[in-house]
Chain A
Amino acid sequence: MAQQKKSEAAGYKLAELLKLQVGSISGTIEREGLTLFGGSNNLLGSDEINDFCIEFLQLLVALLESRDPHDDASPQFHALEMYFNNLSKQILVRGGRVEDLVRYIQFMQRTLIDALDHDKQCTVGDARAMLLFLSGLFNELILAVFQAYLDEKERTVNAQEAELRETATPITEIWDGVLTLPIIGTLDSNRTMLVMEALLNRIAKEHASAVVIDLTGVKNIDSQVSHHLIQMVRAVQLMGSDAIITGIRPDIARALISLNIDLSNITTRASLSDGLKEAFLRMGIQVSHKAA
């Protein structure tokens, strides 16, 4: 109880101090903000930095004047946290570095501690309480910045993964009801599952009658992957489509045989063009040269 009263008193004292020196504090942190994020860095405009500094001091004073400035569940604390979260997002999205943000926050803390120097009536006990409060508060704010940084990174990684998924499964409707899926690179279980999911959904969407899976670009294949490949063909057949595998290279063919993979129920053709011809044949489509 006595501790809380002490911290409340320190909070009010700090708030009074801030109000008295708001102009100089705001000016100092604004200048640093311009150095780190403005000018040639082009991350924030001078008006934006000015607005941010004023808002930061307003939120800090609101927190210091709250019932318990140490309460990290209070709306005032949450507002300050969100303010830093948003600031971080804005700077990170524009290409800023998280290190600069942390340095800026540490600079803000130093500026506030420096401001204590100007209060001649401040006792050692008050200064200690204020320092403790400020270090606790700014640690939380740095955590908020890191949280925003991690969120942003996660968002980027997710977007890149989605893009990779798109490029890993280039399913094309080459003719009405005929899909082609050229697989390039290494097939692992994860990728095979992704390809299978995309392919089955595409068959359902396009009502495809035939799927030509071209393995010309597949570097190597192991027992698990070949098993998944057979499952993929079986799933395609269950959907009611014909699956034709093309471009099986000699080493892949040898690997399939040595793995005891039964290809008797699977239609295979030497090349993608042969596979397409087979698909057209099954659909009763005839492609011929124009008569001279």
Chain B
Amino acid sequence: MSIPGLHLTRIGNGDFLLEATRSLNIRDQDRLLEGITACLLQAQAYDSARASARSGSESFRASCLYYDLSEQALIDPVYYAWLNALARTIQAINVKMVCIHIQPTAAFAMAQFIREKPAFETAIDIFGWQKTGR
């Protein structure tokens, strides 16, 4: 799925992995939010169509978007606002966002300025999130 500045990969069970590259321009937030949401919706629609073709009944499965932050050494309020905006947007289409691989430096920096609970969940990695069953 080609959205400039990020790789969005389907990793099974309705889950997606989003890896931001260095060229990600979060100033272009609206276009990015629309692009990512469109991709997720498209995948959900495809899932629904396949499920109903198989069993005859319509099934809809909420998916999860894992946002890989391993390359993000620092998260400032601007980047945090982008993460929150993305999490809130995809919540509207029943997709949960989980940030994984947050670097110690980024967690340290974020802890200095955030006051409220973020709109996204956090986990060490995908396996860690699935293991705790949240």
Contact = CB atoms under 8 A, between A and B. Distances in A.
Interface of A: 196-197, 200-201, 203-204, 207-209, 231-232, 234-241, 265, 282-284
Given A204-B104, A240-B102, A265 B117 contact: yes
A207 B106 CA distance: 16
Q: Which 3 A-B pairs have the closest CB atoms?
A: A200-B104, A235-B111, A240-B123
Interface of B: 99-100, 102-108, 110-112, 114, 117-118, 122-125, 128-129, 131-133
Contact of B110 (A196, A197, A232, A235): A235
Given A240-B122, A240-B123, A235 B108 contact: yes
Nearest to B105: A200
A240 B100 contact: yes
B108 A197 contact: yes
Contact of B124 (A209, A234, A235): A209
Contacts of B131: 209, 283
Contacts of B107: 200, 235-236, 238-239
Contacts of B132: 209, 282-283
Nearest to A204: B104
A201 B114 CA distance: 20
B108 A207 contact: no
A231 to B, nearest CB: 4
A200 B117 CA distance: 19
B125 to A, nearest CB: 7
Nearest to A205: B104
